[in-house]
A and B are shown apart, each in its own frame.
Chain A
């Protein structure tokens, strides 16, 4: 069981939830589980089965790019999905 934090810009795809509990022992398995349950989220995150370059995934606070990528084992550590946010609240 792994807790995945859903960023605010992707919450519409999961009915507004801030966090979702998923199954899977690696990042790839977790993303598959998420995509199966929330196809809209899956299509945002994954392009041709690969993670889009604009979403960072952190396991236990570490970027999976510095771990084993999608093969990174989760081992119950919290997972954070993080796309960039632009806002500086300057706009009208």
Chain B
């Protein structure tokens, strides 16, 4: 039988320790070690070493391999004064981590020396409960959830695609959602536009959506733009600063306008379009991948471009495509996974098939190419009605 003091003394003999002065030198070096904070959550929230990985002592064994798969990575383990972390250091060595040292004096001594600390912004108890399923995913976690809460997404259109996209983005805690739409809720919308409801008939769509989304999640602020996006207002609206644009417009002039403006403002666009049983989704990321004009240099003639109002659409289709748009948007915000940049996804609801084609960047693109010929807004209605001729 050993007392706590004896146990601690024994463990300290078996591990390596460094002083906070030495740790800070390594911290400031070009190849700093990874700091591992094993304190309790409330201690972490009051401040920690910048860049440290957090795992409470109680969950160390079960979580660490997921957090730090590379067992050769140099680690500095710390707690408040260096006792709990001494035991943690020993455990990590036993688990096969080959370069682990304990921070003697711990975070208290680090702070006493006036070294850098980070005070994390923390989620409230309500947020912790609301986003618990996100917090459990390593790719999201608390940091990712904070990113979502800080994010600003502009939805062009509060219709078939904008409905599911905005609902899932609001539910996910995307903190600011701008919505541009000039229309009011009509009976024929309700077969698919699930952000609205029968009691909202005649209400502006942006206000109806705002009510639904803010009721779903009080963390979300909805900025309504009850207007049609035009060459005149696009710079004002985009100029409010957005991380991502979700394009769910219902006409070609707006599609080309959104494209040109997003290239010039440097904002990625998550594009979705639908007709009858088929949908297309992709991501246009200025400077990284192709733009809408690289994909479709010219709009089809009007007889080949019927709208959903003319040709119809299966109600659930925008639900599927708009949800895929929400998925791409979340990944862009979180900077996780592979987005659809350079790939166009084709969904056929009738055959339930998903196809993919690649979209090359066009060096001769008039907007995002090497020597652009379109550098300011054009008359998009005229551009889309102009007779298309010639080969490319």
Contact = CB atoms under 8 A, between A and B. Distances in A.
A67 to B, nearest CB: 10
Given A89-B160, A90-B162, A8 B277 contact: yes
Contacts of B280: 85
Interface stretch (B80-88, B133-141, B215-223, B350-358): B350-358
Contacts of A62: 357-358
Contact of B360 (A8, A65, A87, A91): A65
A61 B390 contact: no
Given A44-B304, A58-B357, A8 B276 contact: yes
A90 B158 CA distance: 7
Given A8-B278, A50-B391, A90-B160, A82 B357 contact: yes
B392 A61 contact: no
B332 interface: no
A83 B248 CA distance: 17
Interface string A68-92: 0000000000001011111111111
A88 B355 contact: no
B298 interface: yes
Contact of A85 (B248, B273, B301): B273
Contacts of B388: 47, 52-54
A80 B273 CA distance: 17
B181 interface: yes
A88 B159 contact: yes
A35 interface: no
Given A54-B298, A54-B301, A87 B355 contact: no
Interface residues of A, number: 33
Nearest to A70: B391
A9 B306 CA distance: 7
Interface string B287-311: 0000000011111110011111101
A51 interface: yes
B244 interface: no
Interface in B180-222: 181, 183, 186, 188-189, 192-193
Nearest to A45: B304
A42 interface: no
A7 interface: yes
A81 B100 CA distance: 58
B251 interface: yes
A18 B346 CA distance: 14
B224 interface: no
Contacts of A18: 348, 350-351
Nearest to A80: B357
Interface in B96-132: none
Contacts of A47: 388-391
A63 to B, nearest CB: 6
A89 B278 contact: no
A63 B360 contact: yes
A65 B306 CA distance: 26
Interface of A: 7-10, 18, 44, 47-48, 50-56, 58, 61-63, 65-66, 80, 82-92
Ranked nearest first, the 8 interchain pairs of A and B with the lowest CB-CB distance are A89-B160, A90-B159, A50-B391, A90-B250, A91-B309, A88-B248, A84-B296, A87-B308
